[in-house]
Amino acid sequence: MTKTIMDQAGAGIETQPVIRTRESLLSAYRTELAIAGAIVLLVLAVGTQVPQALSWGNFANITQAGAPLIIMSLGVLLVVITGGIDLSVGSVFSLTGMVTAQAMAAGFGGVSSGLIGLSVGLMFGSINGFLVTVAGLAPFVVTLITFAVAGSLAFIVTNGRSMPIGDPDFWLLNSGSIIPGIPNYILFSIVLLVAIEIFLKKMVAGRWFYAVGSSAAAAHLLGIPVKRTQFFAYVASSLLASFSGLLTISYILNAESTAGSSLMLQAIAAVVIGGASLLGGTGTAVGAVLGALMITVIQNGVNLIGINSFWQGSVTGLAILIAVLIDRFSKSRRGAV
């Protein structure tokens, strides 16, 4: 029976559905809440050593530095949910920056050059999707190949030289404000987070991603377009990697051929830390974003405390290991129940 309380007018107000909704939200985002709590503890721990870590300026630095990784991680999430993997995102990120800078040097405007840069993501995403879905090659092999090709092209485009951004207004893409008071890098991150979370949780096509990742054969028998879903995932992943590359060069106004060399590992780490399984079928956009923020907070803390930055890779690897072990332990416990 539904519980009611009486308001001042004597009308009955149902409260049980509200309680159930809160309980369901807490249950659905239990992992994400734990990650958010861990991020707060990390920030406070660093703050005890370096008070500057708790300043608004440092929080702004964290969000500024984390925005490209957040956006890239959202794309990688879509692939991982379908049971695939995308190792090419870091190289696509680098190549996008180099191609965009080269286009500006050739006389194209900022908007045109940005669109040319995004075409890099569209092209490599389509190649990945085609080779996985039509040619039937393993995602690991396919994206390892495109990782190498895109990384090589990033050097070839400009002979390995860094390239300055020719359009002085290109910084507005990252730090401008479409909505007054909200920097674009925050706006883009929030919009993509909300859009992808709603897509995955509320739309039929989004649920296909989970079905394909859980069992592609079963999804096919249910009439789900498995190959189309996988193809879209790889295209979206590469496009978001390209967009994150544009945000980065917009911020630093310079393109480097090795800019994305470490981002592939970080993006996969963010997705795994956020609760997604590399076997597919699970994961949320909220979790991926929080995973990316955790990695950024760790990097920020390492820099503020003064620890050798070479330890960042080790810390990231340890975070992945812990997340995978927790995922394995929780699944084994559910299976034993």
Query: By residue range, what is the domain housing residue 201?
Result: 83-298
Average pLDDT over residues 8-14: 46
The pLDDT > 90 percentage for the chain reads 64
Q: Could you give the CA distance from residue 307 to residue 301 in angstroms, rounded to a whole number?
A: 9
Mean of all residue pLDDT scores within the chain: 87
12 phi/psi in degrees, rounded to 5: -80, 135
pLDDT at res. 9: 44
Q: Could you give the CA distance from residue 298 to residue 33 in angstroms, rounded to a whole number?
A: 18
Radius of gyration of the chain from its Cα atoms, rounded to whole angstroms: 21
pLDDT tens figures, 77-125: 999 999 999 999 999 999 999 999 999 999 999 999 999 999 999 999 9
Reported confidence tier of residue 1, pLDDT bands at 50, 70, 90: very low
Contact at 8 Å (CB) between 100 and 252? no
In a domain, 16, yes or no: no
pLDDT tens figures, 206-218: 999 999 999 999 9
Measuring CA to CA, which residue among 234, 258, 254 is closest to residue 93? Answer: 258
Question: Three-class SS of residue 280?
Answer: coil
Residue 268: how many CA atoms within 13 Å on its side-chain side? 21
Query: Does residue 238 have a pLDDT over 60?
Result: yes
Query: Does residue 335 have a pLDDT over 70?
Result: no
Burial annotation 54-87 (CB, 10 A radius, 16+ → b, else e): eeeebeebbbbbbbbbbbbbbbbbbbbbbbbbbb
In a domain, 224, yes or no: yes
Against a cut of 0.75, is the pTM above it?
yes
Question: Three-class SS of residue 303?
Answer: helix
In a domain, 233, yes or no: yes
Query: Does residue 13 have a pLDDT over 70?
Result: no
Tokens coding 328: 């394995």
In a domain, 257, yes or no: yes
The DSSP code sequence of 188-217 is HHHHHHHHHHHHHHHSHHHHHHHHHHH-HH
Helical (H) or strand (E) element with 161 = none
In a domain, 96, yes or no: yes
In a domain, 268, yes or no: yes
Contact at 8 Å (CB) between 142 and 128? yes
Q: Could you give the CA distance from residue 240 to residue 260 in angstroms, rounded to a whole number?
A: 13
pLDDT at res. 21: 56
In a domain, 5, yes or no: no
Q: Could you give the CA distance from residue 22 to residue 10 in angstroms, rounded to a whole number?
A: 25
pLDDT at res. 119: 97
Reported confidence tier of residue 15, pLDDT bands at 50, 70, 90: very low
The DSSP code sequence of 24-51 is HHHHHTHHHHHHHHHHHHHHHHHHHH-G
In a domain, 42, yes or no: no
> What is the tally of structural domains in the chain?
1
